Amino acid sequence: MDVNENSVRVLTEQKDVAAFISDVICAADSDKKALGFFSRSVYPEYCRHGKLFVATVRINGDERYAGHLLFDVRFPKAHVRQIFVSEPYRGKKVGIALLNTLKSALTDAQFISIHARVAEDLKAANAFWEAHGFYAQRVEPGGASRNRTIVVRAHELNTPQLFSSSGISAADPLGLDIAEGTAKPLYLLDLNVLFDLGPRRPRHELAMNVFRAQRMQACSLAISTEIDTELNRTARDGKTDPMLSFAATFAKFATPPESEWQRLFPALAEIIFPERHASDSLTKNDSSDLKHLATAIYHRLPGIITSDGRILDRATDLRKLFGLDVISPELFQVDPESATETAIHRSHAKNIIEVHSASPSDTPEIHEMLRELGIDVATQVNEWASTEAQSTACFRQIARCNGKIAGYLVWPVNIRSFDIRAHVAIAEDQPGAHEVAQALLSNITGTIRSGDVGHIRLRCPPRQVVLREVAGLFGYMASSTTPTDLQKIVFKKRLTPKNWDHSREFLKNACKISLPEQPPIFRHIDQQISVTRADGQRVLVPIFRLETLLAPMIFGLAGREGVMVPIRKQFEEHLLSESPQASLLPSSKAHLSQQRHYLSDKKTLKNFNRGDMMFFYEPAKNGGVGAVIALGRVLRAYLREEAAMQADDLAPSVLNSNQLSAIGKSKTKTITVFDNILRLPRPVSMFDLKAMGCGNPHQLITTQRLSADQVQKILEKGLG
């Protein structure tokens, strides 16, 4: 039989695949040991949803079945359930064609990874997956009937990172890779900070933190050539000042040319030394201080670090007139109390995840975990602060799963409040890796206060597929410049027509991203919004995706409808928590989920639409406040029989199987998946809801649709 790889064709369209369903079923039944048991009804169902590919070969004008690929998708990852090649066509690259077609389709759809579960004893199958980039991520026990060990394999997709001639990337529509603030800020050091490095100086520890921040890649440091002039001027005759040798190790910026100095000098002197400037009594030290400022301004550096109180007192004026940030070394230390709280979570698989600050006794385990992830000792010490247990220049957290370190997170103090640069690593071969990643990423997001904006950049070790999958759910994007970097903007705000101008300006100042000058009228959740990036390029981004990229932000635009649902006091604490809470007792499983589940009676399904604003009403019964307390965004809603409820259905909720009867007599429930949770600053009372026409007792005990007008009124009351 003359068959070559060029005659292989992969069918992906439903109408084409349907013609070969009987061949697929027959092939699957022929090797149940390798493929597992699937009901015959599964294959037509997968075909209807586009999750079944069929490979064919053309022989003598006749198109024949050669193999098939069955898969599931749940963004941002896919799972291969079956891949099969018919005996006569093995060795003809039929399996490769099927797999490459799947990779291409998922890559175009911005998926992160593909997973496959392979029995350890199937040597040929394991060799196939290994050869095609599916590395062994972990092993776990299979079903009790066969007592097999299963190898879980993962393949990271090369999600498109190609830039068009305009510089716009489909993977990075907001242009985060080129946004101002992405690069490390470079600060000029004043001489007093260098002197404070002396061990007996009272501000020694503060100065040390500045240099620790540089080592951790939070910033770069440089000096002005004026420091050499100043040290030479004050040096004692016949003695060498060791500070001159130390200063020689820094990058240096020359003082401005005379013409520029004469232009800057009067303005700076008037700001910093107004009395002495007026009386023409400036000292040489005063002029030297001004030359440091002039150097930073002339070279357009972000700022200068100084301990001089006179200069720090005029920081606002210097920023306003020259765009120069004057920073105290005190800004480089964290509040120790903010990093000592412990949070304990119960994971979906009954593992206990404990997150707390790293201590000196944790250092050996941290080193070992990072070493196993391929991070050398020098990088561990410098960038990952693995030995900085007593440092106040950074936050260091570990996550333990059942007592063993399974995750490590470190980030230096935020010199610029909106810029967070963190390093995070997960031991993905351990149980609970998914939940550990959720907990650590939630902790980073939790550092940004309600109403604020932050640009988060994560540096990860290579081959962190679980971490990337979880980060995708949080709205992170891969960096096109550094493959192991992930980044996102967190905007903890609800944008409405009334706060539009202020919110727009706030986002622009922090991240250099501009929304339209006027709030658009909402038509549908996928309508395009014009966004101006930091490089001046205008891009169109659908509302739904933009809300994900800026999560947990939601556009409360005029014309957008919503849905209001009741939630009891004992459930709302965990289901509506915005970030992990410190507690000595394990919190609920829902606490870890970025996408959470609200369960209700099957009759409520018709009330939920993708993209709806979802308002949560807490009844006054049993200690409740009798008001709307929070809102989120509906992702999707579906029906599920109680008997068919799985861990993936219940874990992101606050219910267990024994509590399902409390939400309706029907054995079928509506599961609503929602995200972008934020509490309202001002609860909207039942009295206010009645005035809006949606607060009568019979309305508040069940799910109800809200008109666009009612949504705006609730937002106006709740946001204040």
Report the C-alpha gap between 142 and 127 in whole angstroms. Answer: 19
pLDDT at 580: 47
Q: Residue 480 carries which DSSP code?
A: S
Task: Name the pLDDT band for 579 (thresholds 50, 70, 90).
Answer: low
d(CA 16, CA 21): 10
pLDDT digits (tens, 9 = 90+) for 659-716: 676 676 778 889 899 999 999 999 999 999 999 999 888 888 899 999 999 999 999 9
Residue 252's Cα: distance from chain center in Å?
36
If you average pLDDT over residues 312-337, what whole number do you get? 83
Q: Between vectors from CA 468 to CA 462 and to CA 474, what angle results, nearest 5°?
A: 150
* pLDDT tens-digit series, residues 186-210: 899 988 888 888 888 888 888 888 8
Give the Cα separation of 627 and 616 in Å (integer): 8
| C-beta of residue 652 within 8 angstroms of C-beta of residue 597 | yes
Q: By mean pLDDT, which of 344-353, 354-363, 364-373, 389-398 is the weakest? A: 344-353
Q: How far apart are CA 195 and CA 575, in angstroms?
A: 52
pLDDT for position 164: 41
Q: Which amino acid is at 617?
A: Y
Residue with tokens 């022989």: 59
| Tokens matching residue 558 | 């005029």
* Overall average pLDDT of the 388-399 stretch: 80
Query: Is pLDDT of 655 > 80?
Result: no
According to the per-residue pLDDT averaged within each range, which of 344-348, 592-596, 599-603, 605-609 is highest?
605-609
Phi-psi region at 110: left, alpha or beta (left = phi > 0; alpha = psi -120 to 50): left
Max Cα-Cα span within the chain: 102
Q: Which two tokens stand for residue 516?
A: 């339209």
167 with 175: CB under 8 angstroms?
yes
Q: Which of 36-45, 158-167, 592-601, 671-680 has the lowest mean pLDDT?
A: 158-167
Residues 6+ apart with CB under 8 A from 358: 366, 389, 396, 397, 398, 408, 410
Question: Given this model, what pLDDT does residue 171 score?
Answer: 60
Residue range 23-50, pLDDT digits in tens: 999 998 887 776 777 788 889 989 988 9
Neighbour count for residue 310 (Cβ, 10 Å): 12
Whole-number Å distance between alpha carbons of 414 and 466: 27
Q: Is residue 474 classed as helix, strand or coil in its secondary structure?
A: coil
The two beta strands, 404-412 and 394-401, are antiparallel
What is the spatial distance between Cα 497 and Cα 23, in angstroms, rounded to a whole number? 57
Q: Which of 85-99, 215-229, 498-512 has the lowest mean pLDDT?
A: 215-229
Tell me which residue of 676, 652, 646 sits closest to 434, measured CA to CA: 652
Provide the pLDDT confidence category of residue 166 given band limits of 50, 70 and 90.
Answer: very low
Which domains occur in the chain, in start order?
A: 5-156 (3.40.630.30), 186-332 (3.40.50.1010), 336-491 (3.40.630.30), 494-555 (no CATH), 562-719 (2.30.130.30)
